[in-house]
Amino acid sequence: MKVLVLNGSPKKVSDTFRLTDAFLKGLNKNNEHEVHVINVIDKNIGPCRGCFGCWQQKQGHCMIPDDQNEILDLYRDSDLIIWSFPLYCYGMPSHLKAVLDRTIPLVKMDMKQMDDGSVRHEALVDFSRIHTLIICGCGFPDWEGNFDSLKIMCKNGFINPDIVCVPETPMLNIPAAAPVADPLLARFEKAGEEYSANMTLSPETVADLERPMIPAEAYISNVNSL
């Protein structure tokens, strides 16, 4: 299986990517998968200009001569794409959102109505064979609503994505929090093994990964004391 990891953190070693790295360790436990990690912050990827030249050419490439076409080539050839990023203003960081915006060369201008009544652009690639996993970390405790807008965007933008949203991720880089952080990393590694076997995560596994490490009141108190 070919795995493309889009690391959307501005830091190569970030709170969220520690979770993703643990997941990859479990996913590729037997070294049977080809894993390609892209640190998006290091790439030259501008915003979509809305020129729609890609829709005129229908070649699956963007007209802007930067690093996005490299990602598009890897994207269409991957079996699993992992979007790993911290929550920024209830969504993706801007440099990663630019990557998502500029995947439109992989679809056509022509539209069709789906069985569920939604309308989508016709695809130039077989998206049904590409699995999508979102791993998003957040500096807030598990307050309801923090991930709602992100989940809507991902469910509308991808086909049946697995979405894991984790609160309190700054604790992953605090040595004193290791007694609760290390078990979370171990659960992510186990989840990677599950995904490798089933190509999806059970609702129970997702709920276990998203469970806050400590109560919200204690987390807020600790943050405010820094």
> Tens of pLDDT along 51-91?
999 999 999 999 999 999 999 999 999 999 999 999 999 99
Closest CA to 135 of 196, 188, 190: 188
Most confident listed range (5-9, 106-110, 125-129): 5-9
Stronger pLDDT, 29 or 144, i.e. the higher one: 29
Residue 102 has pLDDT above 80, yes or no: yes
Average pLDDT over residues 19-35: 96
Cα–Cα dist 1/25, whole Å? 15
Residue 11 has pLDDT above 90, yes or no: no
Stronger pLDDT, 100 or 128, i.e. the higher one: 100
Q: What domain range is 149 assigned to?
A: 2-224
Residues 6+ apart with CB under 8 A from 28: 3, 35, 192, 196
Res 225: pLDDT: 83
Res 111: pLDDT: 87
Residues 6+ apart with CB under 8 A from 132: 80, 81, 83, 154, 158, 159, 160, 161, 162
Question: Do residues 139 and 169 make contact, with C-beta atoms less than 8 angstroms apart?
Answer: yes
- 221: confidence class by pLDDT, cuts 50, 70, 90: confident
The domain total for the chain is: 1
Average pLDDT over residues 83-110: 95
CATH of the domain at 31: 3.40.50.360
- 106: confidence class by pLDDT, cuts 50, 70, 90: very high
Per-residue model confidence as pLDDT tens digits over 169-207: 999 988 989 999 999 999 999 999 999 999 999 999 999
What average pLDDT does the chain have?
A: 93
- 13: confidence class by pLDDT, cuts 50, 70, 90: confident
Quick one: CA dihedral 170, 174, 176, 182, positive or negative?
A: positive
Residue 117 has pLDDT above 90, yes or no: no
